[in-house]
A = this chain, B = another copy of it.
Amino acid sequence: MSSRVKEILSWYRSDNNAVLANIYKLLNTGGLAGTGKLVILPVDQGFEHGPDRTYAPNPAAYDPTYPFELALEAGCNAYAGPFGQIAACGHDYAGQIPLIVKLNNSDSLHSGENPVPAITCSVRDALQIGASAIGFTIYPGSSYKKDMYEEICELGEEARTYGLPVVIWSYPRGEGLSKEGECGIDVVSYAAQIACQLGAHIVKVKPPTAHIEQTEAKKVYEKYKIKIDSLTDRISHVVQSSFGGKRIVIFSGGAAKTDQEIFSEVSAIHAGGGFGSIMGRNSFQRKKSDGVELLKKIIAIYQG
């Protein structure tokens, strides 16, 4: 075991051996094995945004074997997706790549001011289709937060019992926040903190902007001169806000952009001490060979 992996595992000593073994597996798979960094392929956009917006740019991806193949060829640490599509062909890839099974999902055919996902997979079903971890989305800022926090509290307890670590997608959204505020540095830091408090072993947030949403927070940023000018600074701050850097925090890639933008964002995440990227649309909405190439370049940045 590399010393970095050893160090990271030391933060999770309250957890049982089976949970540690799965974190170990996530950290020792693919091109970043042993570095303590992760590049994860998430494909849940078919559920979240619909199949057309998700797969039409690269019709090969309509097939649920596609993300398995892409993640394997590129050397990702894990592939994350909803129950249905993993169940559809997971049998052929059993044991080949760690799976993060998303236990809840939203769709875009109905959306209210205060979002709340539906639970779409049980812990038991996640186990049976081969999960190495569960994924769960919370929307801090939504009036339904009590529901979501209590769902992950229960599901997390059950998951840990069976040795599954918990990955929380923490996406601020809802009537408590402005649109711009969803990615504000104070809000993203807070969202990371909430995920940690709810027991996340791995936290996923969006790269934060320099916007500060809450008046009380603004005073603190000014008084204590918290550095947030560069993305690297902001990533550092989010990592610090995640139990002083003692939790794995990874960052999403967001909507498609130019490769150069991606690389410079990833470099900033790396420089700021972020633990990695979860890169979906940018990687699978292009030809597979191009997707593999992109992911390998990202992996190279984190190796550097």
Residues on A lying within 8 angstroms of B by beta carbon are: 11, 13-15, 46-47, 49-53, 55-57, 59, 62-64, 66, 82-85, 87-92, 105, 107-112, 116-122, 124-125, 129, 140-143, 145-146, 148-150, 153-154, 157, 172, 174-177, 186-187, 189-194, 196-200, 214, 216-217, 220-221, 223-224, 226, 240-241, 243-247
Contact = CB atoms under 8 A, between A and B. Distances in A.
> Which of A49, A129, A149, A186 lies at the interface centre, i.e. has the most chain B CB atoms within 10 A of its CB?
A149
Identical copies in the complex: 5
A243 B118 CA distance: 21
B122 A187 contact: no
B51 A241 contact: yes
A17 B21 CA distance: 30
A169 to B, nearest CB: 15
27 contacts: A13-B91, A13-B92, A14-B89, A50-B189, A50-B190, A51-B190, A51-B192, A52-B221, A55-B241, A56-B223, A57-B220, A63-B243, A83-B197, A88-B247, A107-B140, A107-B194, A109-B177, A110-B142, A112-B143, A118-B149, A119-B153, A120-B150, A120-B198, A121-B153, A122-B157, A124-B157, A125-B199
A150 B119 CA distance: 6
Given A109-B140, A217-B50, A118 B145 contact: yes
A246 B143 contact: no
B172 A11 contact: no
B90 A14 contact: yes
B52 A186 contact: yes
Contact of A108 (B49, B87, B214, B224): B214
B199 A62 contact: no
A129 B52 contact: no
A109 B191 contact: yes
Contact of A141 (B53, B109, B186): B109
Contacts of A141: 109-110
A116 to B, nearest CB: 6
A11 B223 CA distance: 48
